[in-house]
Structure 1
């Protein structure tokens, strides 16, 4: 009996879709952790990234913060937070927020910095205030790359949110850790498959959102920029010119 057959048998059992350990309950918990972490990370990273890109200052600091956050080991940070605040939702949420901040922060900074200077100068010449230039000109023009950063953060968070079960919380990781504890590898496989599918669906949802809220011209510009950067070298955070994609 192969891997997919075991997963399919478990998923087609109606008993696994009800109760506290049912798929809908675990999926709701998983998405709640992920969504909360993403909102917190965006609330912290977006303003910093937008303002540093707008004023063309602090780029080196943004890159350093991004590098430092990316270098943090997720399980290590989770364990540290457990020692500091104890078991509960704070520890895994802190680890997930740390994962989400770098792509949102660096892409927001780089997106604003990539807005053509002549467009910004034209907005200033017609009498726009700095706030109006940022929110009426720069942010709309930079929206594709900003959304790429948020999308990357969302996929990473959803794929990693299984760690919540490591400290006794719920989510799809509950299947993985409970299965490992009881050596029930069918449940482990189910948890892994559901977490992967969840990440893929989140990716697709953000792609659809980008096509809905961003004009086709800006999408094409963003695609050319991303392809051009990828063709030359892998994305890096070692210089202010690097953006996560």
Structure 2
């Protein structure tokens, strides 16, 4: 333990820099994933056949080993000069995020109490008003559960993205493995875990704040 503390004290700026890089990578990926996954999950509630196909495709992406997916990205994005670095890592993390976000959004909207939906129709709400004022607020806990799952998943996978030059806490782990330095590996792993715990806690607080009390 003393070695870990000493390493962090001696290399605090480096650890902080990698932590911020990691947070930026995951943050950008999750925002993009939400902008894609939530609207898509909502749309799929209107098309059951397409929903099954999309969820199967998203499941396939999640089963691809991260190293393999990063490897696939390199020759494709090399065509635009972005074979390694931030962009392929973000794209890979967005793909990994889709299944929990789409599936949870789809399930959340489908599981809204039909009586509540009928009541909203009865008072003259439009489809968009029902979606934004009734269905999404009532389904928010399940939607946010998908976002939280995707975020924690991406924080872990993001460490592997260091192998393609994306930066982040994976640099510490990778460097530790190369040098046979267990302290570096442990520091990287511990900070990744702490980042996941903090991110999940923050998202839980956001979920609690915006979820109607009748649904909590």
TM-score (norm 2): 0.91
What do residues 97-142 of structure 1 show as CA deviations (whole Å, max 9, x unaligned)?
A: 1111111000000000000111112212222221111112111111
SS in 1 for 2:154: helix
State which of 21, 24, 30 in structure 2 corresponds to 1:32.
24
2:12 is aligned with 1:17: yes
Are the structure 2 counterparts of residues 119 and 215 from structure 1 closer, same or farther at C-alpha, using a change threshold of 3 Å? closer
Specify which structure has the higher proportion of helix: 2
- Contact 2:97/2:151, CA 8 A, preserved across alignment: yes
What residue in structure 2 maps to residue 75 of structure 1? 67
What residue in structure 1 maps to residue 55 of structure 2? 63
2:201 is aligned with 1:204: yes
Uncovered stretches (5+) of structure 2, i.e. residues with no partner:
78-82
Between the two proteins, the alignment pairs up a number of residues equal to: 210
SS in 1 for 2:112: coil
Greater Cα shift, 59-68 or 188-197: 59-68
- Contact 2:44/2:51, CA 8 A, preserved across alignment: yes
What residue in structure 2 maps to residue 224 of structure 1? none
2:39 is aligned with 1:47: yes
4+ residue runs of structure 1 moved beyond 4 angstroms?
A: none
Tell me, in whole angstroms, the C-alpha distance in 1 between the residues paired with 2:21 and 2:55. Answer: 32
Uncovered stretches (5+) of structure 1, i.e. residues with no partner:
220-245
What residue in structure 1 maps to residue 80 of structure 2? none
Tell me, in whole angstroms, the C-alpha distance in 1 between the residues paired with 2:106 and 2:128. Answer: 16
Tell me, in whole angstroms, the C-alpha distance in 2 between the residues paired with 1:59 and 1:177. Answer: 39
Tell me, in whole angstroms, the C-alpha distance in 2 between the residues paired with 1:101 and 1:205. Answer: 20
Are the structure 2 counterparts of residues 25 and 75 from structure 1 closer, same or farther at C-alpha, using a change threshold of 3 Å? same
Tell me, in whole angstroms, the C-alpha distance in 2 between the residues paired with 1:161 and 1:70. Answer: 14
SS in 2 for 1:216: coil
